[in-house]
Each structure stands twice: as C-alpha cells, then as structure tokens.
C-alpha cells in the first residue's frame, strides 16, 4: 500500500515537472512570437464568435545595424574652453544630445563621446530614423531664446530720402487702415477682420481681444482715455496711432477690478515647483508654522528676508507688488482676495510650497474690455538700420523646463516656461525694472511675442504666446527643454543605413543562429543519446526564454548582440555536458540511473558554477568598459549564461528524472553515450 502511494506521488510529481516545462516553453514562445497565436485566435473568433485573449505584439528592439537609421559624428569646438574643463564640457554635450534624441522618440538611440588628441567628438546613432536632415536639425542646432528690451536713448535721424520713404509708406498704410475701420463700422465681423488683418500675433486668433485693461496701461493708456469717454460698449472707434502701429479698437464690457498690494513669505520643499531647497515637506510645514507664530505686520519685511524661499521677493521683504486676479495661482489668489487690508493670512499651500500672505492695501479701478486690429505703421526705426532691441542677462540657458498649455478662454496653445533659481531672480528683476515697458521674447533672432509688463512677475514663470499650432508649440517646447549646448558642435560625418541592408544582416544572423542550433542539437543527440535529446528540448526552452527576456527588458538587438546569443547556444550545452559526463561516470561505478542522475547534478554544480562565474566576470568587464557594440555582445551573453544555468540545473534534471521512471527508458545504454 505504501509502495503504491509512493509510486502515485512520484507519477504525479513527474507529470507536474513535464507540465511546468511545457508551460514555460508555451509562455516564453508566446511572448517572443505572439503572431501565430494571435492569428489562430482571430480565426477561432471568426468561426465561433469568441476566443482566448490575444497577446500584445510588442516588437523586438532593434539596433542601428539591424533596423537601419542615421549615424552622425560631431566635432566639439573646444577653443574657448579651459583644458581642465574640456572633458566635462564634452559630457555636457552628450547629455544635451541624448535629451534631443529622446525627444525624437528613439528609445534605443546611442550617444557616445571619443577623445583623440585635440579632437573631441560625439557619435550619435538613431535607429529607425531615415531623414538625416531632420535628425541633424534637432541634434545639432541650438535654439536661441532671448529676452530683449527696447534700445534706450538711440538717436534715429533719417536722411531726406529715408524720410520721404517713411511718408510714402505711411500714406499707403493709413489708407489701408481706414478701409478696415470703415468695414468694421459698417457692421462687418470684427473678429474675422482681426484674424485676417491684424499683425498682433498674440491676439489675432482670438479676434484681437486684449482682455480687460485700465487707463493705467502703459501702452494703451492714452488710447483708452480718449476712446472710452466718447464710445459706447460694442462700438468701433477711430484710428489710434502708437509709436509703431495703428490700432482700430472696439469697446466691449466694463467692470471694476481690485488691485492689491501684497507680500508673502514662501517656505518651499524638495519636490515643490521651482524649489531649490532640500528640506522635506514635513520640515517645511514645521518651519512655516513657527514663522506664522512670530510674524506681525511690523516685522513682516524682516521675517520675509530671513525665511522666504522666493529669490524674487526675498530681498524686497517679500513684496509682490500690485496683484490682480489672474496673476497668481488659484489658491494664492483666493486667500489674498479674501483678506482685508492690513491683515496677514493663515498658512496657504500651493504647488510652490507654503505661504504666509500679507495684504497691506488695495484700490478699485475701472477696466474696459478692448479688442483691436493692429495695422503696420512705418517709422524711422523701420527704415534706419538700427537694432531697436538690446539683450538682457536672461536667456534660454535659464529655462528649467517648458511645456505646452492652453488658454482657458480661446483654447489657443502657448508655451509655459519655468526658470531655474537664477532665471527666476533675473526675470523678477527684469520685469520689475520694466513695468509699463515692452519685453521682447525672441527665438533664433525672430520676435515671438512682445508683451507689455503690467507689473513685476515673481515665482519664475513666464508664457510665450503666438499664433502657434499645437504641433509647433510641442516642437518649440521640445527644443527649449533640450537646452543649449555647452560648446558649439559641427558635423564631420553622416551616414544613413537603409532598412534593406539591416534586414539582410538580420536574415543572415538568424540563419547563422539556426545553423548553430541544429549543429549543436545534432552533436549532443548523437553523442549523448537520450540525455542529448533532452538537451535539445532544453535548448528550445533556453532559446525562447532568452528571446522573451529580450522583449521584457527592452534589450537592443544588434549584430554583435546576436553573435553573443549564437555563442551562448554553444555555452548553454556546456553545463549539460558536465552533467552528462558525470552521469556516465556514476553509472560505470554501479549506481542505478535515478541516483546517478541526482549525484551527477550535485557533483557537476561546482564545475558549472566556477566555469560560468569566470565568463560572467569577463562579460561584466566588457559591459562596463566596452563600447555599445561590445556591450550588446556582453549583455546577451550574460543573459544566456544565467538562463543556461537555470535550464541545466532545473529543467534538464527534472526531465532526466521523469524519463528515468519509465522502465523501458531506464536501460543504461540510453545514458552511457559514445
């Protein structure tokens, strides 16, 4: 009875071992090659109306030499870089180019640096990209973002000929503007006229809307004063000349707005927006509560200078200037406008950290909803060759990140900029010094937008508006996020590898792998007989497991990686060979088959361990110190070795024990080999 129970348990264990091996083979084969399964399930579904779920057909990640793509080599200009800083500058170039390559969506891109004497080079490989010019444009060009102010105190003295040119141009422009004015006054759609004729790129797409403005506005103040005194809402006024344009204006609604003189103390923490401090959120909470218990209206300036994390307002006692609705984040505004004058708020949390807000005073003023059509007006600065703009210290290098956002009223895309700590301070100083003046934002030398500064802007955030499409806005954000290159680079070599050549290389590599597999399978079957046949089955499991792992971990398959896989096929048999040879020795010593199998696996393990450990050490060195081709070889070989150890010690052993339970297959002849 006990013997029958033991045999039943042994049989069930054997069935379980075979089932687990079969399941492993099925799962790994399905992961590596899902197409046959998906095709079969589609056919089943067509016939009976339902089927098992399909497997996501995730493709293998192929390298440049297999998939085809673009190979670029750039030379870095180090003439202005100190010798001690050249290596770090080259690494900085590599980091920027990697970000730019990632923005192309090339997950398996390769960016490496080489130094040969005075030649500092960057090698870029972009698999799957066939447009070399597009790749070079994004990789090599540096987007130049500049913040400029109008040139001050520049005498523009046109010659008589230039003045005559100005007068003639203005006559033509005035006639064109009057024509648009008459059409608007006769009832033609103002919004469409603005879209078709306005040169103000920031407002034309929303019908020329300027929003609600007051007579405090530095650009439109005089126009507003004359315009609103004699114009009813909904009526289009006359022509209004500014320094360089003619405006046709329309009055919409009017409303009162409140302007609040505000100050704040900000305590930020690591992870909060635009925060460079390292304190935790809990530490920030503790500190802001302490500050709140100490601060008064009399010592607010002192406490702001002592505790505030806002670099833009810290040196001015936390002063934020005059704040209107829509200028701050929602939570901050809600708390500020809920206060009475002369009152300090409780702790307010926003994305920037924790605030204590002080509302010192406020005023109410009238605002007017205005729309305009801005028409060109030639001035001396357009004819006389003088740059009307001068650079400021703020530039694209101070941009921490850029993202695409959408105007809540018009749904028009714009670029939202967040500056680093230095940029936030520069931007705050720049806007504070130019309240009521224009600041021009230029990209690659061309003005994108020229907004008027209503008040100082703190917090390190800005917007680039314009007539962008969504795709153009995304591309601009990508270029700004890529950052500026630390040093100039120039292309010295470019090569496009076609997908046909890559496909031929892949086909040849697959053929080599199949031939290698068949030769190994033939040898072990003839030499080791039944164990050799089991080794072939294990090799199939080994191969599908490797390919499944390549997909799961995103291993980039290159020709050198395929070479590592082919080599690992032969190495995979090595552990089996050690077990089989030891098995023959144990059988010749008189052991029965099952005990000989167990002893063979046990005694072969030290040799398997030591032999593979030395190979793994070599692959580790190759992977950490070699180039990408060598790394690909080392990686696939490492995966192959680890999988082969598992297959030999677990699967081979299990299958040998299963077949040895069959009386007919327990004959020593099947195991002694040649």
Over the stretch 100-136, which tens digit does the pLDDT of each residue have? 666 555 545 677 788 888 888 888 877 766 666 666 7
pLDDT tens digits for range 649-666: 888 888 887 887 777 776
Alpha-carbon span 307 to 329, nearest angstrom: 21
Spell out the domains of the chain, with CATH numbers in brackets.
69-142+485-497 (3.30.70.3400), 159-383 (3.10.50.40), 499-672 (1.20.1640.10)
pLDDT at 25: 75
Contact 254, 379 (CB under 8 A): no
Residue 511 banded pLDDT, cuts 50, 70, 90? confident
Whole-structure pTM value: 0.44
**Rounded average pLDDT over 288-294:** 92
Looking at the predicted structure, is the pLDDT value of residue 324 above 90? no
Alpha-carbon span 110 to 102, nearest angstrom: 10
**Cα dihedral 74→102→113→396 (10° resolution):** 70
18 vs 421, residue with greater confidence: 421
Alpha-carbon span 375 to 199, nearest angstrom: 6
> Is the alpha carbon torsion for 324, 328, 333, 339 positive or negative?
negative
Percentage of the chain surpassing pLDDT 70? 78
pLDDT at 6: 36
Nearest alpha carbon to residue 62 among 478, 482, 501, 491: 501
**Rounded average pLDDT over 190-215:** 81
Angle at 198 between CA 442 and CA 473, to 5 degrees: 40
546 vs 238, residue with greater confidence: 546
Alpha-carbon span 20 to 639, nearest angstrom: 21
Alpha-carbon span 563 to 569, nearest angstrom: 10
Looking at the predicted structure, is the pLDDT value of residue 503 above 90? no
**Rounded average pLDDT over 422-439:** 84
Looking at the predicted structure, is the pLDDT value of residue 344 above 90? yes
Residue 358 banded pLDDT, cuts 50, 70, 90? very high
pLDDT at 563: 76
pLDDT-wise least confident of 249-263, 424-438, 463-477, 495-509? 495-509
pLDDT at 357: 93
Looking at the predicted structure, is the pLDDT value of residue 402 above 70? yes
Contact 402, 417 (CB under 8 A): yes
Which of 70-79, 93-102, 274-283, 487-496 is the most confident on average? 274-283
User: DSSP of 268-317, one letter per residue?
Assistant: --TTSTT------HHHHHHHHHHHHHH--TTTHHHHHHHH---HHHHTTT
Residue 292 banded pLDDT, cuts 50, 70, 90? very high
Residues 6+ apart with CB under 8 A from 479: 138, 143
- Whole-number Cα distances in Å, 665 to 8, 71, 430, 471: 19, 57, 88, 69
pLDDT at 546: 84
Alpha-carbon span 102 to 375, nearest angstrom: 42
Contacts 24+ apart (CB under 8 A), 129-132: 129/69, 129/70, 129/104, 130/68, 130/69, 130/70, 130/496, 130/498, 130/499, 131/70, 132/70, 132/72, 132/494, 132/496
Alpha-carbon span 595 to 603, nearest angstrom: 12
Looking at the predicted structure, is the pLDDT value of residue 74 above 50? yes
Alpha-carbon span 592 to 195, nearest angstrom: 93
Contact 237, 250 (CB under 8 A): yes
- Whole-number Cα distances in Å, 179 to 173, 175, 374, 580: 10, 6, 13, 98
Average pLDDT for the chain: 77
**Cα dihedral 602→603→605→611 (10° resolution):** -170
């Amino acid at each position: 009875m006990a013997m029958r129970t033991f045999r039943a348990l042994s049989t069930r264990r054997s069935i379980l071992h075979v089932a687990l091996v079969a399941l492993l083979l099925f799962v790994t084969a399905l992961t590596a090659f899902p197409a046959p399964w998906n095709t079969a399930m589609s056919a089943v579904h067509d016939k009976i109306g339902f089927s098992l779920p399909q497997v996501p057909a995730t493709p293998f990640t192929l390298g440049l030499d297999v998939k085809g793509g673009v190979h670029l080599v750039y030379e870095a200009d180090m003439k202005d870089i100190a010798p001690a800083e050249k290596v770090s500058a080259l690494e900085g170039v590599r980091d920027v180019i990697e970000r730019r390559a990632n923005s192309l969506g090339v997950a398996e891109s390769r960016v490496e640096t080489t130094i040969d004497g005075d030649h500092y080079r960057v090698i870029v490989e972009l698999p799957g990209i066939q447009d070399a010019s597009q790749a070079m444009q994004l990789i090599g060009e540096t987007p130049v973002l500049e913040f400029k102010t109008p040139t001050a105190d520049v005498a523009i003295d046109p010659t008589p000929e230039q003045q005559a040119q100005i007068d003639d141009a203005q006559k033509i422009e005035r006639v064109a503007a009057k024509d648009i004015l008459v059409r608007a006054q006769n009832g033609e759609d103002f919004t469409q006229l603005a879209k078709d004729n306005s040169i103000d790129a920031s407002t034309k797409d929303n019908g020329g809307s300027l929003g609600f403005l007051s007579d405090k506005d530095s650009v439109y103040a005089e126009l507003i004063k004359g315009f609103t005194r004699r114009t009813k809402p909904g009526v289009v006024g006359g022509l209004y000349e500014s320094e360089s344009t003619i405006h046709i204006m329309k009055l919409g609604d009017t409303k009162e707005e409140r302007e609040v003189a505000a100050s704040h103390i900000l305590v930020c923490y690591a992870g909060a927006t635009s925060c460079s401090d390292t304190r935790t959120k809990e530490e920030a909470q503790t500190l802001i509560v302490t500050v709140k218990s100490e601060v008064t209206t009399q010592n607010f300036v002192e406490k702001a200078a002592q505790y505030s994390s806002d670099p833009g307002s810290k040196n001015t006692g936390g002063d934020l200037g005059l704040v209107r609705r829509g200028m701050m984040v929602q939570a901050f505004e809600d708390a500020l406008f809920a206060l009475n004058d002369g009152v300090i708020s409780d702790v307010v949390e926003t994305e920037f950290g924790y605030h204590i807000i002080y509302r010192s005073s406020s005023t109410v003023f009238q605002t007017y909803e205005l729309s305009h059509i801005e028409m060109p007006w030639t001035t001396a600065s357009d004819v006389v060759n003088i740059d009307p703009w001068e650079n400021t210290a703020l530039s694209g290098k101070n941009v921490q990140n850029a993202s695409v956002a959408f105007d809540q009223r018009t749904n028009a895309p714009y670029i939202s900029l967040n500056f680093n700590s230095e940029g936030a301070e520069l931007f705050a100083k720049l806007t504070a010094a130019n309240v009521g003046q224009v600041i021009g934002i230029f990209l690659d030398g061309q003005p994108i937008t020229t907004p008027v500064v209503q008040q100082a802007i703190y917090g390190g955030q800005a917007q680039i508006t314009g007539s962008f499409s969504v795709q153009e806005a995304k591309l601009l954000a990508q270029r700004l996020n890529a950052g500026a290159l630390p040093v100039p680079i120039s292309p010295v070599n470019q090569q496009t590898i076609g997908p046909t050549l890559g496909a031929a290389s892949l086909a040849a590599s697959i053929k080599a792998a199949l031939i290698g597999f068949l030769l190994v399978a033939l040898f072990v079957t003839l030499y080791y007989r039944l164990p050799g046949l089991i080794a072939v089955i294990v090799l199939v499991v080994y191969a599908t497991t490797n390919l499944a792992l390549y997909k799961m971990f995103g291993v980039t398959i290159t020709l050198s990686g395929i070479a590592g896989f082919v080599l690992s096929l032969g190495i995979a048999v090595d552990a089996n060979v050690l077990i089989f040879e030891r098995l023959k020795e144990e059988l010749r010593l008189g052991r029965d088959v099952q005990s000989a199998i167990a002893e063979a696996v046990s005694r072969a393990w030290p040799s398997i361990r030591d032999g593979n450990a030395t190979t793994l050490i070599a692959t580790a060195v190759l992977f950490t110190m070699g180039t990408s081709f060598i790394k690909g070889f080392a990686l696939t070989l490492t995966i192959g070795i680890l999988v082969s150890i598992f297959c030999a010690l677990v699967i081979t052993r299990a299958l040998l024990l299963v077949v040895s339970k069959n009386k007919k297959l327990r004959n020593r002849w099947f195991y002694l080999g040649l």
